[in-house]
Amino acid sequence: MTRLIVWRHGNTDWNAGNRVQGQTDTPLNELGVEQAAAASDMLAALKPDAIVSSDLQRAARTAAALAALTGLPVRTDARLRERHYGQWQGLTMHEVAARFPAEHARWRAGDQDPGCEVESLDDLGKRVGAALQAAADETPGGTTVVATHGGGARQGCGHLLGWSPEILRQLGSLQNCHWTELRYDTVRGWQLRAHNVGPAAREPIPAAI
């Protein structure tokens, strides 16, 4: 049975400040480095066969912590990047609400394409879902750990599972350095086996941005 561990990166200062990262290449902070190390201890016990990562440094640095324990190389895939947030990137969510009230309201209501050059959720799901499927296809019957981002992880997993946007809105956001586990078999296809698994958190759950 093929297994995918879809792993969100560790904490960054922008996570802590509720600032929209999107595809801005922000680094892990000290807490994020600690989280990556703690999560890697748990993930190494699953005996992964491969590691794939977003090319943004917060995900790549997270993946590197696991690579250091397992000796596995890390393959990067730009399709695993977070949702592109257009004009919102670099702003706090308070600033987004103040500058773009109509678009922010649509986003809060679950609009798939709120405007302001924000990538649509459908495009995000297809992009990340294709990268997840490619990662799984490289190691059939094995376990692949994929280091990515909160929003991308949810939409990409939803794409593989064939879930509607309404169902996906009910799935809680991944905490930093937590993961979703998917498994595939030829009879039932992709199945969700676990969600939001990881080391004990010592910070408030951040928005998946």
H helix intervals, the chain: 13-16, 30-44, 57-70, 93-99, 101-108, 121-138, 150-161, 165-168
- 85 is known to lie in a ligand binding site: yes
Give me the pLDDT at residue 35, please: 98
Q: Which residues are known catalytic residues?
A: 9, 82
- 12 is known to lie in a ligand binding site: yes
- 169 is known to lie in a ligand binding site: no
Give me the pLDDT at residue 200, please: 86
Domains assigned to the chain = 2-84+119-197 (3.40.50.1240)
Q: Per-residue pLDDT tens for 28-38?
A: 999 999 999 99
- 10 is known to lie in a ligand binding site: yes
- 108 is known to lie in a ligand binding site: no
At residue 6, φ and ψ (nearest 5 deg) are -100, 105
Q: Please give the Cα distance from 121 to 115 (Å, whole number).
A: 12
Share of residues in the chain with pLDDT > 90 (%): 94
Q: Per-residue pLDDT tens for 144-202?
A: 999 999 999 999 999 999 999 999 999 999 999 999 999 999 999 999 999 999 998 65
Q: Per-residue pLDDT tens for 38-72?
A: 999 999 999 999 999 999 999 999 999 999 999 99
pTM reported for the whole predicted model: 0.94
pLDDT score of 82 more than 60: yes
